[in-house]
Amino acid sequence: MQNILSLLLNWPSNQDLINYLEIAVTTQTVPLHLVVSCFLLAFHTGSLQDLETLDLLCTLSVIQSHRESSMNGLLAYQDSIEPVSATIQRALHLVQTAHVVDSSSLSGSSTDLFLGMLPVAMPVFSQASQTEKAEHLNSVLETLHLGNLRADLRVSLDQWRMEVGQLLAAGGSLPGADTELLELHAASLADAPELLGGSTNGAEDGTTASSDLHEIVMCSLVLRNSVSSSMF
Q: Write out pLDDT tens, residues 41-90.
A: 999 999 999 999 999 999 999 999 888 655 458 987 665 778 888 999 99
What is the pLDDT of the chain when averaged over all its residues?
78
Between 72 and 33, the higher pLDDT residue:
33
Contact indicator for 172, 223 with CB cutoff of 8 Å: no
pLDDT number for residue 75 = 87
- Round to whole Å and give the CA distance between 130 and 84: 15
Contact indicator for 132, 85 with CB cutoff of 8 Å: yes
- Round to whole Å and give the CA distance between 58 and 106: 8
Mean pLDDT for the stretch of residues 144-169:
91
Helix (H, G, I), strand (E, B) or coil at 197: coil
Mean pLDDT for the stretch of residues 18-46:
93
Contact indicator for 178, 169 with CB cutoff of 8 Å: yes
Confidence band (pLDDT; 50, 70, 90) for 221? low
